[in-house]
Amino acid sequence: MGKNFLQRQKQHDIDLMRDVERIIKQLCMDCWQVTLHEEAGIGRQRLEKLTDAFLENYSKFDEILLGTVESDVWQARLDNALLDIVKDQDKLIPFNKRYPEIREIPIWKPLKRVKK
């Protein structure tokens, strides 16, 4: 009974985190679309194209949040993509400063396996 409860609790926590991520992502997209429309005059068709591109990028970069051996690679890729925008290394706020809550996973340290 206790083990089943713990499994249900863990699944509940995972489901809750996914729901929170989905809600925050949707709110960010909504605010981003309204801002692009109001400030840059971007209409529905271009917003749909940009939203599709955003979701594709989000799917690529969500590896950062998974805590895998590839997470640090994706963190560097994100910083490199942003550096292409700002053009000056000194003006780029590094990933670990933008996301202090995400712990760095050294590539030389193996991840702990989760028992199933």
| Residue range 35-82, pLDDT digits in tens | 999 999 999 999 999 999 999 999 999 888 877 888 889 999 999 999
Q: Which of residues 68 and 103 earns the better pLDDT score?
A: 68
Domain count, the chain: 1
Burial of 1 (0-12, 13-18, 19+ CB in 10 A): exposed
> Containing H/E element for 115?
none
Per the structure, the complete domain to which residue 89 belongs is given by 62-110
pTM for this prediction: 0.71
Secondary structure E strands in 2-68: none
45, part of any domain: no
| Position 1 in a domain | no
Task: Note whether residue 74 is domain-resident.
Answer: yes
Question: Out of 4-8, 65-69, 91-95, which region has the weakest mean confidence (pLDDT)?
Answer: 65-69
Instruction: Please indicate, yes or no, if residue 104 is contained in any of the structural domains.
Output: yes
* pLDDT at residue 56, as a whole number: 94
- Who contacts 69 (Cβ-Cβ below 8 Å, separation ≥6)? 105, 107, 111
pLDDT value of residue 44: 97
pLDDT category at 115 given cuts 50, 70, 90 is: low
Is residue 67 within 8 Å of 105, Cβ to Cβ?
yes
Cα 20 from Cα 25, distance rounded (Å): 8
